Structure 1
Amino acid sequence: MSLQATLRERIGSAQMLLQRAEQLCPGVEGHQKLCSKLRAELRFLQRVEAGELQVKESHLHSTNLTHLTAIVESVQSLENVVALLHVFTYQDIASRRHTLVVDVVANGGLTWVKAVGRKALALHNIWQGRGQYGDKSIIRQAEEFLQASRQQPVNYRHPHVVFAFYNGVSCPMADRLRDMGVSVRGDIVAVGSVELEEEEQEEEAEGKEEDKHSEEASGLTQVDHGTVVAHLAFPVQLQVEECQRVNLDITTLITYVSSLSHGRCHFSFREPVLTEQATQERWQQVLPQLDAFMEGKQLFACRAAVHDFQVILDTLGGPGEKERAQNLLARLHVVDDQPSERTQRLTLSAKINHRSLMIFGTGDFLRAVTMTANSRFVRAAANQDVRYSVFIHQPRALTEGKEWRATPI
């Protein structure tokens, strides 16, 4: 195939891939980053076609398109994708900080996917020590993924690591990955021991980075591309038991008993924030969401939360809200304040106060998911590298005592 024909084929592929990517999960974190990478790849190919850049034809096979194609294919095969090209920070055994890019974060955060576009032969030879200088083997990358995932629990469970191979993986590598606890998706191909041609060795010299996908790799081991011994397809079915413990924050206790949450939302209040909450409630009821999440689970609240809730209730609560509060508190296991060790390392600030430390810290100690409308605290704690397992909902205030001066609508 001529250089121009190859260029036209690659440009067409890039344009189609960009169209597919733009329609994938818009609004998901990293979506724009993925599209930006594809646009950059397309601009590069168009500049080559226009004669602005001079490259060898072999370089056109070493672009990022193969890797980006693998990411798009993965996204289309998975459910509940929450992030693309997400950067996680983790520490090695020497407490040195590292970053890791996860191509697709799916299943609500419980599945991490690395999409691999490089060919099985190149991957196998790098693993065997016959790659280019600086090449990192898939096995080494898997070790890093596993180490990082153990430090990023989602609701007290470690994300499951999946390596998706879109140009195959050798049997020995697939076996090694599975032994490590990594799921493998894609064609698993047999390995023979045939001498490679010199031209295949030259092709490998073109690819120096993992995402610059070369056509073949140098070495003495040949992967038999004609012998696919297995094909493991998406979706990855994970049987993940949902956390059965729930810790209620003050904001959740108030929201649960609020008159707004119980049909009394057709008012315009003197306080703009209450009118806004009433509008939100008419648009989307919050109580069914809370009930659905709490159903069948053990409900906890720490003494700090219950004490402050009752103070607020005594001051602002109406008769119906107080009655609902007593019914709710009767369903809860009230426990002493027991902030977890990592919570006690947080530095106090405008968004991180002592009461929040007691509430979220006790939930963390109990290994419970904390229900809250206090997203400011959650973000502030995450900025100090403490990420809590939370269920965040919209807030609702106590409004029964203010209905008399509100305007019905």
Structure 2
Amino acid sequence: MATQAVLSERVGVAEDLLRRAERLSGAEGGAKLCGKLRSELKFLRRIQSAHVRGAHVHSSNLTHLSAVVQSAESLQNVVALLRVYNYTKEEKKRSLTVDVVADGGLLWVKAVGRKAEALHAVWQGRGQFGDRSVIGQAGEFLLAAEEHPLHYARPRVLFAFYNGVSVPMATELERMGVEVSGELIPTATMQGEEPEEEEEEESEAGGREQGIVGNGVHPPHSEQEQAAAAPSQRPPEELLQFYRDSDQDSDQDSHDSALDSDSDSDSAPRPLTLLDRSLSCPRPLPAPAPPPSCALVNLDVSTLLSLVSSLTHGGCGLAFREAVLTEQAADERRAPVLPQMERFMAGKELMACAAAVTDFQEILRTLGGAKEKERAQALLRRVAVVTDQPSPRSLALTPSAAVSPRSIAIFGTGDAHHAVTMTANRKFVRAAANQGVHYSVFLHEPRALTEGKEWRATPIATPPEPTATPT
């Protein structure tokens, strides 16, 4: 019955986490997080229905996913969950999963659900084979962040600990350049031999995670955990598997983790220390940092067209024969794009690469009206035209229907000049991100050249002013 009580509790936790994760579906990776929680819930319900008795079921994935959900709920401007980044380590291609990408992409968060006592034991070199020190993982996060700048600045790295972290580990992380949040727990060196309780705890690959505190062993936190910790006979393997008590980032990271597990800790264990939670102090999540400023703006073809289009200069009150133009006109009436673009460009230098200007002028000659051409001449006088010189990471992109050579030249040249590229080409931005290249961009809605087609368009009737209702 004790095991069933533990399972029922974990099922309830998983259901609550899934409901909360579904509210985060607006962020990239929200569906992936919900899928992982559904898998956990399915597993727990399966073994619950099998009437497992007397087994200690510990779902470390649930612990980690709970920390991810809490981080996503607590941080601002979350843009992605469980995003995978590629990077190079020792001339080998690796990947890691960032649990939460917040602050518009400027903050990478590793959510850690393991208890501080277990994390500290691994750092001391007293963990199980394959256990990875948080310090080693932090080094990989910093390395990957260097290879994926946003707005030409390295994203900040935050390790958020939801079951505490020892002060020495937090100090080491901060020395490396990693921000830390959570309960900071001081330590004291233990004299003499290690207690039998700790040896028993560290020998369990997937069992209870009892932390050493004060002068003894921290007991389980609930009656269900105490009952579940009792020795018992293991049920059939196909009905119940024991999760290891670890917080691996994701399935994508497991191979690299196994390869690197021995390199994360010293060859000899550090002196045994105890954690005293009675003296702990909280470290809150950091406040959002202001985004780095960029004084140079790269204009792509879609932006050049939008800046001179008749739609953005009062010609949006028409219904065109072309459905796409009618839709853009309606969008412009609802949300004009020119004021947004002008606010962003204010006080900045403007540039465009030769490929963008050439294509823009060709479209202008074919479709542009007289006023649109006048505005184009005035605009180009404000723009510095540079030769096409894509950045190395842009040249490494694999061409596809969405990743054209022209787009590589335009976005890549802006990238090489450390400029923010203004664009309505979301398709390319997404496709490049899927290949691991995240550009610094300002996105806006597209506006086509329409002056040459206004003669056959139908004016939109202006709705009458509402009349006051007599009282």
Establish whether residue 281 from structure 1 lines up as the match of residue 346 from structure 2: no
- Could you tell me how far 1:352 is from its partner in structure 2? 4.6
Summarize the Cα distance change of 1:47–1:360 in structure 2 as closer, same or farther, 3 Å threshold: closer
Number of residue-to-residue matches in the alignment: 400
Partner of 1:253: 304
SS at match of 1:247: strand
- Cα distance in structure 2, aligned partners of 1:99 and 1:192: 36
User: Which region of structure 1 is more displaced relative to structure 2, 263-272 or 338-347?
Assistant: 338-347
Establish whether residue 4 from structure 1 lines up as the match of residue 56 from structure 2: no
SS at match of 1:167: coil
Summarize the Cα distance change of 1:352–1:114 in structure 2 as closer, same or farther, 3 Å threshold: closer
Which of these residues, 60, 65, 90, is aligned with residue 63 of structure 1? 60
Partner of 2:378: 327
Partner of 1:18: 18
Question: Deviations along 1:336-392, whole A, 9 cap, x unmatched?
Answer: 333334444556655555543432232122110111223344445456554432223
SS at match of 2:372: helix
Q: Under a length normalisation based on structure 2, what TM-score does the superposition of the two structures give?
A: 0.78
- Cα distance in structure 2, aligned partners of 1:137 and 1:220: 16
Structure 1 unaligned regions, length at least 5: 213-217
SS at match of 1:27: coil
For the aligned residue pairs, the C-alpha RMSD in angstroms reads 2.6
Question: Deviations along 1:154-198, whole A, 9 cap, x unmatched?
Answer: 121111110000111111100100010000000110112346643
Partner of 1:27: 26
User: Which region of structure 1 is more displaced relative to structure 2, 100-109 or 194-203?
Assistant: 194-203
Establish whether residue 90 from structure 1 lines up as the match of residue 87 from structure 2: yes
SS at match of 2:82: strand
Which of these residues, 119, 130, 133, is aligned with residue 134 of structure 1? 130
- Could you tell me how far 1:262 is from its partner in structure 2? 2.2
Is the 1:81–1:107 contact (alpha carbons within 8 Å) kept by the matching residues of 2? yes
Summarize the Cα distance change of 1:196–1:55 in structure 2 as closer, same or farther, 3 Å threshold: farther
- Cα distance in structure 1, aligned partners of 2:44 and 2:437: 43
SS at match of 1:226: helix
Alignment of 1:196-275 (within 5 A): 197-204=195-202, 205-207=204-206, 208-211=244-247, 220-228=272-280, 230-275=281-326
User: Which region of structure 1 is more displaced relative to structure 2, 62-71 or 329-338?
Assistant: 329-338
Summarize the Cα distance change of 1:346–1:191 in structure 2 as closer, same or farther, 3 Å threshold: closer
SS at match of 1:134: coil
Partner of 1:215: none
- Cα distance in structure 2, aligned partners of 1:381 and 1:63: 34
- The sequence identity of aligned pairs, in percent, is 57
Q: Under a length normalisation based on structure 1, what TM-score does the superposition of the two structures give?
A: 0.89
Q: Residue 346 of structure 2 aligns to which amino acid in structure 1?
A: E
- Cα distance in structure 1, aligned partners of 2:296 and 2:146: 21
Q: Residue 29 of structure 1 aligns to which amino acid in structure 2?
A: E
Is the 2:205–2:245 contact (alpha carbons within 8 Å) kept by the matching residues of 1? no
Q: Which has the higher contact order (CA 8 A, sep 6+)?
A: 2
- Could you tell me how far 1:101 is from its partner in structure 2? 0.9
- Could you tell me how far 1:325 is from its partner in structure 2? 2.0
Question: Deviations along 1:72-95, whole A, 9 cap, x unmatched?
Answer: 11111111101111111111122x
Partner of 2:216: none
- Cα distance in structure 1, aligned partners of 2:349 and 2:158: 32
Is the 2:4–2:52 contact (alpha carbons within 8 Å) kept by the matching residues of 1? no
Structure 2 unaligned regions, length at least 5: 207-243, 249-269, 461-471
- Cα distance in structure 2, aligned partners of 1:48 and 1:352: 47
